[in-house]
Amino acid sequence: MRLLDAPDPGFTSGCVLVPTMGALHAGHAALIARARSIADQRRARVVATVFVNPTQFNESTDFERYPRTLREDLALCERAGADAVFAPASHVVYPPDTTIPTPLLPKVATLPGLEDAHRPGHFAGVCQVVSRLFDLTSPGVGVFGEKDWQQLQVIRAMTIAQFRPIDIVPAETVREPDGLAMSSRNRLLDPESRERAAGIHRALARAAAQRSGPAEAERVLAESLADAGILPEYAVVRDARTLLPPKAAHDGPCRALVAARVGGVRLIDNVPWQPT
C-alpha cells in the first residue's frame, strides 16, 4: 500500500475514493471493503484519504481534540484492502495565498431543523474539502457512510450540480453490539455516557417500528430519547432524499434522524423509516 502526501493523478485517477478524517474504526474498514469490491469490478484502485479538515468544525476545541492516529489508520487501511492512503498536509489542501472556493451549497445542506441549525457553516466546509479532494484525486467513485445521512445527500447533490463524473455510493452504518453507530467520536465518551449513548439507537429502532405516520414516529422517538436521559438537538422523520418533512400521506422512503450531545460528545445516527 502506498502513502501519498502529494497528489499523484497518474495513480489515483479513476479510483474508488474513501474520504475520511482518520481515527479509523470498523465502520471505515467496511467503507474501504465496499470500495474494494467496487474497484475490483472496475479494475480500479482504492484510495482512502485521511485529512482532519479545519473548515468543517464549528468549534476550534472540537477540531483540536479530534483524535489523530495516522499510524493505526494506515494499518487499518492496508488490512481493509486500500491501495493507497492520501494523507496530505494542510498546505496541500489549502495552499497559502490561494483561495479554495466553497462550492454553491445544495438546498439539502441548509434545511431548517437539521445539521445547519446546530453546526452553521459545517456543510460549506465539507463541500469545500470534498470538492478539493475530488480535484486532487480525480476518482470515478466516492464511497460515503450512511451514518452521516444528510452529508451523503449533500455530497450527492453537490456532485450532480458540479457535473462531476463520479458515482456517489453509500455504505451501511456499522454498529457496536448494543446498537451504537460506530464513530471516531465514541472514544471521547466516558463509561457512563457510552452506556447512555446506546439509547440513541434504541429510540431510532422504536421509531422505525412505529409506522402509522411520521408525527407518531417522531413522538415515539422523542419519548424514547427522554427515557434514555438524552436531550436531542433534533429527532425527526424526513424524506430520505430531499430531507424535507414528509406529508402525512407520504409513502416514499423516509429516514428517522437524531443528533444529540451525550456527555458533551455530539453524536448523530439515523435509520430507514417507511410508513405502512
**Cβ(45)–Cβ(39) under 8 Å?**
yes
Piece of the chain touching ligand PAF by CB under 6 A; list 14-22, 34-42, 162-170, 237-245: 14-22
Name the residue nearer to ligand PAF (CB basis): 168 or 260. 168
Assigned C-alpha cell, 26: 470498523
Q: How many residues bind ligand PAF (CB under 6 A)?
A: 10
What is the Cα–Cα distance from 206 to 107, expressed in whole angstroms? 30
DSSP-based helix, strand, coil % in the chain, nearest 5? 45, 20, 40
- Considering only residues 55 to 94 of the shown chain, the ones binding ligand PAF according to CB under 6 A are 56
**Contact region with ligand PAF (CB under 6 A), list: 16-24, 69-77, 163-171, 259-267:** 16-24
Q: Do the Cβ atoms of 111 and 119 come closer than 8 Å?
A: no
The grid coordinates listed for 94 are 489549502
Q: Which is nearer to ligand PAF, 105 or 130 (CB)?
A: 130
Q: Which of 115, 146, 148, 239 binds ligand PAF (CB under 6 A)?
A: 148
Distance between first and last Cα of the chain: 48
Concatenate the DSSP letters of all residues of 64-121 into one string.
Answer: HTS---HHHHHHHHHHHT-SEEE---HHHHS-TT-PPPPPPPPGGGS-TTSHHHHSTT
Question: Residue 39 to residues 3, 6, 107: CA-CA distances in angstroms?
Answer: 18, 22, 31
Catalytic annotation present for 28: yes
Q: Taking CB under 6 A as the rule, does residue 19 contact ligand PAF? A: yes
Segment interacting with ligand PAF, rule: CB under 6 A, options 19-27, 159-167, 215-223, 256-264 = 19-27
Q: How far apart are CA 79 and CA 29, in angstroms?
A: 8
Q: Which is nearer to ligand PAF, 23 or 44 (CB)?
A: 23
Quote the least distance from Cβ 219 to ligand PAF, whole Å.
30
Q: Does 130 bind ligand PAF (CB under 6 A)?
A: yes
154 is an interface residue for ligand PAF by CB under 6 A: no
CB of 54 to ligand PAF, least distance (A): 10
Q: Which of 12, 53, 159, 270 binds ligand PAF (CB under 6 A)?
A: 53
**Is residue 126 close enough to count as binding ligand PAF by CB under 6 A?**
yes
Q: Does 20 engage in binding with ligand PAF (CB under 6 A)?
A: yes
Q: Does 15 bind ligand PAF (CB under 6 A)?
A: no
Task: Report residue 210: phi and psi, to 5°.
Answer: -95, 100
The residues annotated as belonging to the active site are 28
Footprint on this chain of ligand PAF (rule: CB under 6 A)? 19-21, 53, 56, 126, 129-130, 148, 151
